[in-house]
Structure 1
């Protein structure tokens, strides 16, 4: 199975209650042959509206951070642990993340076979690493996922949006260095890959707003 076939299967998923609160599942975006994959927690309202992961305020901040370390969204692949927006944009719990990711994320990664995976935030870290890992303690540290991929965790951009002052400055530098490390490891393992286009990717030009009767 390739990603296109998996995406068609995802569209009809009704396997858990989260589907009832979302317009439709949100899959992935980017280069399916990319050696690096970024894994967030789950779609918010903007992502649900447009059917694209990390397109809202968090995604726009991620785009800026990637640009700073010479990566663009069209040259990498972004996805989420949870595919359907939880009601009121709440953070998905570990049980929900585990159920959905075993059904979809693990299959995505099996198809893509990335050299490097970046876990954005605690939900992704808990699934890709283990529930005992903490983003404040373990970010910036390399580990191997259950599927055998090299993985590094960093703060989710939504976390940065909640910070101010010195905390924000410090966290932004942490993310910058973590993304630099991820890029360096990727180029070490896949030296011929191109991770940056000449311009940032404008996702709102590529995706149109979905309607509530999408499926």
Structure 2
């Protein structure tokens, strides 16, 4: 069963110390959501709040993602969210390519092998680089379908953290609509391939009720 396989993988992840990123983090941050979901969202890596609570995309970026998912008729408990990098880099910096590849080859690849999703959504450039190829750029290739190195149908969109950094109102509105349409496209393809799966619960998922601060 997928849930049992993920549980075993989570136990392995908890004791991982294979790279220096673990030294500055409280602990690895795994994944959250439904193991049988036909759609998986792959972000960059944990931030401060994610490191504190041990949940991916629970901070400001995650809260914005939740709003976008709700608008696109999806909820976090019915999809699965994860990251390329499992430990928060010191100073909350962007992980470099070597760090992303090292971590993802050990953990994300195993997750996807277990999950076998119908659709993968790459949130931002780090995820796009790993799932696609080094020549792909989020500003150029978002909204386009491609096959991941694992053989899954994938579409890339802006990471919610990028939206939070946009100060120009017109540019922000345009980027939000881009994300919404990308999420719609991902949802429609997932439902086309798994028509009996419910991607949305009646209420938004309150992650802060499900996770406690690790400190």
* Unaligned residue ranges in structure 1 (runs of 5+): none
The question of 1:191 aligning with 2:186 is answered no
Give the Cα separation in 2 of the matches to 1:167 and 1:131. 26
Matches within 5 A, 1:11-22: 11-22=14-25
Q: How many residues align?
A: 211
* 1:85-118 Cα shifts (integer Å, max 9, x gaps): 0011111111100000000000000000000000
The question of 1:157 aligning with 2:160 is answered yes
Match of 2:95 in 1: 92
* 1:142-190 Cα shifts (integer Å, max 9, x gaps): 0001111000000000000001211100000000000000000000111
Give the Cα separation in 1 of the matches to 2:153 and 2:6. 21
The question of 1:203 aligning with 2:193 is answered no
The question of 1:122 aligning with 2:125 is answered yes
Q: CA RMSD in A?
A: 0.6
Give the Cα separation in 1 of the matches to 2:98 and 2:172. 30
Match of 2:65 in 1: 62
Q: 1:182 aligns with which of 186, 195, 200?
A: 186
SS of the residue aligned with 1:96? helix
Give the Cα separation in 2 of the matches to 1:198 and 1:160. 26
Match of 2:115 in 1: 112
Q: TM-score normalised to the size of structure 2?
A: 0.97
Q: Which runs of 4+ in 1 moved over 2 A?
A: none
* Unaligned residue ranges in structure 2 (runs of 5+): none
Q: TM-score normalised to the size of structure 1?
A: 0.97
* 1:1-60 Cα shifts (integer Å, max 9, x gaps): 700000000000000000000000000000011110000000000000000000000000
